[in-house]
Amino acid sequence: MSTFLAKHNEVERKWYVIDATDKVLGDVASKVASILRGKNKPIFTPHVDTGDYVIIVNAEKIRVTGNKATQKVYKHYTGYAGGLREIPYEQVLERHPERILEHAIKGMLPKNSLGRNMFRKLHVYAGPDHKHEGQQPEALEI
């Protein structure tokens, strides 16, 4: 008996849509990262992208627990001396709410070219509308 290894051209992909209204950020992010990676399928193979496409709507209505709404800070470095930029969670939620979920999910994926390909299958929208009705996504409850 040999171990089954999925091949890239044999993977069948589904589309899922998730409503993030009043869901906790970490719960949604971990579930979506698992789906993007393909860990919810019996054909999961670590070195092959076996995951599905995920659409997240209502990203602006995501919630965090505890004091994270006032204390959480997103940092990035510009590349210049003294170029560390810190942006509070509330400001990111106001300006670009989809980036909050993207940042959380991207941190849960592999840090290599395979992880970057998995991340491309994620589509996050601030409002309730998305442009992927043609793919007939299934609603997924978290």
Going from N- to C-terminal start, the domains of the chain cover 15-64+97-139
Whether residue 122 is predicted with pLDDT greater than 90 in this model: the reply is: yes
Q: What is the pLDDT of residue 130?
A: 97
Q: How confident is the model at residue 6 (pLDDT cuts 50, 70, 90)?
A: very high
Mean pLDDT, to the nearest integer, of 62-72? Answer: 97
Burial of 92 (0-12, 13-18, 19+ CB in 10 A): middle
Confidence of residue 1 (pLDDT cuts 50, 70, 90): confident
Q: Tell me the pLDDT band of 98, cut-offs 50, 70 and 90.
A: very high
Q: Where would I find the beta strands (DSSP E) of the chain?
A: 15-19, 53-57, 73-77, 84-88, 122-124, 138-139
Residue 111 DSSP symbol: S
Which superfamily does 15-64+97-139 belong to?
A: Ribosomal protein L13 (3.90.1180.10)
Mean pLDDT for all residues in the chain = 96
Return the half-sphere exposure (C-beta side, CA atoms, 13 A cut-off) of residue 14: 10
Whole-model pTM? 0.94
- DSSP, collapsed to helix, strand or coil, labels residue 132 as coil
Range 21-34 average pLDDT: 98
Confidence at residue 85, expressed as pLDDT on a 0 to 100 scale: 97
